Structure formats: structure tokens, C-alpha cells
Amino acid sequence: MDVIIRIDGRAGRITLNRPRALNALTLQMVTLMEQALLAWVHDPAVRIVIIDAAGGRSFCAGGDIAELYDPVKAGDIEAARRHCRTEYALDALIATYSKPVVTLMDGMTMGGGIGISAHASHTVATENTAISVPECSVGFVPDSGATHILSRAPGHIGEYAALTGVKLNAADAIDAGFASVYVVAEKLPELSAAIAASGEPDLVFTFAGRPERAGGLLDRREDIDAVFGLATLAEIVEALSARDDDEWHRASLRRMNRGSPLSLAMTLRAIQQGRLTPDLAGALRTEYRLVCGCMEHGDFLEGVRAALIDRDREPRWKYGSVEDVPSKVLDGMFAPPESGDFDFIPPGSGTGSEPIKVRIGHAG
């Protein structure tokens, strides 16, 4: 089984079990997780939910990219949209869940992995945690609610993380808002057993330690804010280019240059506008519009081809530089798709016997 679901003591437990694929989420895995969570809402035996992963190397590398790339390549955009809607509904369900959810983010965490972990009530990072939002490098945008977190990170850490795709360790993850507490990885089995036996999520703080902070985001906060707090991509690129005598500036520019100019522009605006978006649901709605745009009109197919199919690492982006992205095209990416917007309705809000999770509201 790619996901193991069971009840352990007072806990409903979900374990991602696809380590050879870095625990990437398939649509079937997402559906099974959602079904379990909806069932446990009404189960008095379940007081808490624990989400972890097998393998040790990766908590979750995101959604299974083939389940988006293959249908988009074949012209079946709706199948790819359906995958995104289902995944986002799970993210929102975890964020609004009526019982505590503890996620053990031990290992690589990206994309959909952020969605099923960072929005939980208690998110644990370890010395193995490596979070990144590298979507721009494959012609996509940070999604699964990542822009909600990035827009609320201190200063302009969110812009820096998203535009460069830099990896964040446990301390960085906590500082940026992706995790709430640090626990040494070897203590996770004991922590899980204690939580399952007691049903008490705050036990995570009893097991908490202090992560290594040397060389982290906060050490570079002044540089990050000075550059990535600028209003436009062109200004950010110019500021980085002006400091080619400094390795941090050079490395940041190299990372940015790997990204699709269109995706970079969409991402920067999403984070900037996200500061005015009050909740996760609004961020997911915007992200859904953007990923639909990436798949239908953007650089997604070319980015995946260059990075994962042909592996030539030479994507031919639609626009040669950030200055070349037309404002009209960028504005269009933020408009509701003709197929309808994404809206999450929490369980119990519907009038029928079954919970309503997703509504597709058509653009007027």
C-alpha cells in the first residue's frame, strides 16, 4: 500500500509508504487520506491524527508529477485540474480539521508535502528536514497553500525562498512558518507512541529540542529584505547583479535564473498579494488559478520536459527574461479559469448526508 491508514490507541495514523518515489502523492493516496480524515471526524475513538512517512529520506516530495504532466501532454487538462482540486481539498481539510493533527516532517518536503504538513495544528521538523519550493524551475508555481505561508514569513523571506528554491533546514522552516517545533529524529517513534497513547498533541513540546541555527535565514535577513523586498522582478535581478562580488548574491541570482520568467512573475505577485489575502482558502483559490494557467498557457510542460523527461536542463521558456513577461499575460493568469474557481467548503457545511469538500464556481 502506498499509504498505510490505521487506528493506534487514540490516534488515527496515516503513513506515506512510497519511499522509492520519495513518497510523492498520487491521486489515490490523496483520496484515501481524505476518506480516512472524514471518517475520523465522527469517530470518538480517534482524538488526534498523526501523519508521517516511511523511508527516512523524504517525508513527501510533492504530488506525483506524472499525474499532472501526462494528462496535460495528452490534452486532458481537466484530469490535471481534478488532481489539483482533490489535493487542495485535502490541504484545506487538514488546516480546518476539528481534531489536532500532528505531522512529522522528517526528510525532504516540497509541494504537496508542504500542503499535508505545514497547515496542521502541530508540525514537527527534524535534523533531516529539507523544505523547498522549487516550482518555478519546472514552470510551475508554489501551491498547496505554500503562498499563504510564504506571504506571512518574516520580512521578505517568502519571496527569497520561492524565487530561488533554496533549501530550508529545520531552523529555517520554523522561522519561516513551515514548522512549529524541532524534535531529534531518533525520538520520533517514542513521540508517536506517547501521542497515540494519550491523544495529547502538546507532547511534541515535551520532546522539543533546539535546531542548529548557524548560517540560517535570519543571519541573512538584512540582505534578503534589501533585495527581495523590492517591488519588481527586474529590480530584484538588478540588485543581485550589482553585487557580483558577494557569493550569496551570485548564488541567489543563479538559482533565480533557473526559473521560468513567467512562473517567477506569477510567484512574486502571488506572495505580494497574499499578504492581503486573509486565509488559506483564498490562497488556494489563487494558486488554483495559477496552476491552471501554468498547465494550459505557461511553461509547465517545457519545464518538466527539461528537468525530468529529457533531463537536458535547457528549458526553452516562453519569455527570455523577466522584463519580457507582458503585464496582460500576467494579469490573465490571476483571472478565474473558464472551467471555474476552486472553493473549499468544510465538512458539515453542506445540506446533504455527505460532506461537501469542493465547489467549482464558474466565472461570470
Catalytic residue among 9, 112, 177, 298: 112
Catalytic residue among 34, 52, 106, 143: 143
Q: Is 63 a catalytic residue?
A: yes
Catalytic residue among 135, 159, 172, 343: 135
Q: Is 352 a catalytic residue?
A: no
CA distances to 96, 157, 189, 334, 337 from 137, in Å: 31, 18, 35, 20, 23
Catalytic residue among 12, 62, 63, 139: 63
Count of C-beta atoms within a 10 Å radius of residue 306: 20
Which of the residues are catalytic?
63, 112, 135, 143
